[in-house]
Amino acid sequence: MGHAQHAHSAEVQPRDPAKVKQILKVTIILAILTAIEFILAFTVGRGYLLTTVFVLLTFVKTFYIVGEFMHLKYETKILIWAIILPTLFIMWLILAMLIESNHMFEAIKSIFG
């Protein structure tokens, strides 16, 4: 590192209140969504409806974490698609395997009783 020490350092810029406000906004949204999930877990009966709501809320949280915190929303279009397209295939894999497991359960039941 020895010689690099004399490289000029960039100047410190003041805080941008709008940016900090945006971060706080996302934080509050994430906290509220988690609280809603928490309350739903105890008040609504389990079933496909509740599971769907949970999955949707998780996706909303994902949107905020990846879009705002990881800054993907503000990257170039190609980069956004390079990340999102493979993720869509992963989601399809998950869905296909879940459907398959139901058939597995039926098959195991009919073969082994």
Partner 1 sequence: MATAVINENENKALWAGGAEPLKASYGKLMMWFFLLSDALTFSGLLVTYGFARYAHKAYTGTVQDFIPSIEYWPIPEKIFTHIPFFHIDAPLVFVGLMTFILILSSVTMVLAVEAGHRNDKKDVQKWMLWTVLGGIAFLSCQAWEWMIFITGSTDGLIVNDPDGTVRHIFGANLIHNEYGPRLFADLFFFITGFHGTHVLSGVIINIIVFYNVAVGTYERLGSYEMVEKVGLYWHFIDLVWVFVFTFYYLV
Q: Please report whether residue 32 would count as binding partner 1 according to CB under 8 A.
A: no
Contact 26, 62 (CB under 8 A): no
What residues between 53 and 92 interact with partner 1 by CB under 8 A? 54-55, 57-58, 61-62, 65-66, 68-70, 75-76, 78-79, 82-83, 86-87, 90
State in angstroms the smallest separation of the CB of 110 from partner 1: 13
Looking at beta carbons only, is 98 or 110 nearer to partner 1? 98
